[in-house]
Amino acid sequence: MSSSSPCAIALEAVIFDWAGTLVDFGSLAPTQIFVDAFKSFDIHITLEQARGPMGLSKWQHIQALLAEPAIARQWQQCNGHAPTDKDIDAIYSRFMPMQIAKVGEYSQGIAGVAATLCWLRSKGLKIGSCSGYPRQVLDVLLPLAAAEGIAPDHVIAGDELAAGGRPGPYMALANVLALKIGDVAACIKVDDTVPGIEEGIRAGMWSVGISLSGNEVGVTPEQLAQLTSEQIAGLRSRAEARLREAGAHYVIDSVADLPAVLALIETRLQAGQRP
């Protein structure tokens, strides 16, 4: 790609989230398991509550849920004390085997993802990824996704970095190091959650939000197909507003729509613009 500005750079990589972005339309696997894990402690949370901190690493996700006043009150009433780190550990220990057992049921690739990854590679772009899932869960998910043609060049799990996970920039930057990217502005971060968008912004990357296939809408393709165009438009608008507020430069329905946005970002880079 030729430069039209002395400050222009070319795109080098796209870094993707997993659930709700590459696989698991609606990001259902982690959400339902949080509900089930809390229920096993006689704490009742809704799917909407479970979705609230989505994008965080799972221990931090549980911590955030227990900090919610309504959930904290339930814990106090059931256990006679406010939630502690020991309690977070206990729920996490219950959550992990449940998530490992169930993640395969929600591992289906989102329509158009495999083709988009193939297209990105045809343009010479590297493909990174990161997730709030711990490595034990990804060890189950990754071979199933690879069988569908979804196999990034690098994967970082939510429990692998001493610095922590989202909304910090660490997992995105770990991809930059592993993929040997020369400039963070040459990267696009694609994510369906608010912490994931914040991660990309803090890493200095172009950040693209995912609305309809992701956590912010949180429905299956079958459920989406039953909705009217007006209902879908309302869900899309609400999701886009949340992701834009987090800093997303662009918001698309799914990864299948990424090529058009990539062209826009390339044009801005050629004009010397940066995220």
Catalytic residue among 17, 159, 192, 257: 17
- 8 A C-beta contact, residue 14 and residue 2: no
CB neighbour class for 136 (10 Å; exposed up to 12, middle 13-18, buried from 19): middle
Catalytic residue among 24, 58, 189, 257: 58
Tokens representing 65 are 């849920």
| Torsion angle defined by CA atoms of residues 72, 164, 238 and 236, in that order, rounded to the nearest 10 degrees | -130
The rounded distance, in Å, linking the Cα atoms of 181 and 183 is: 6
Neighbours of 64 (CB within 10 A): 16
Q: Is 191 known to be catalytic?
A: no
Q: Is 36 known to be catalytic?
A: no
Which residues are the active-site residues? 17, 58
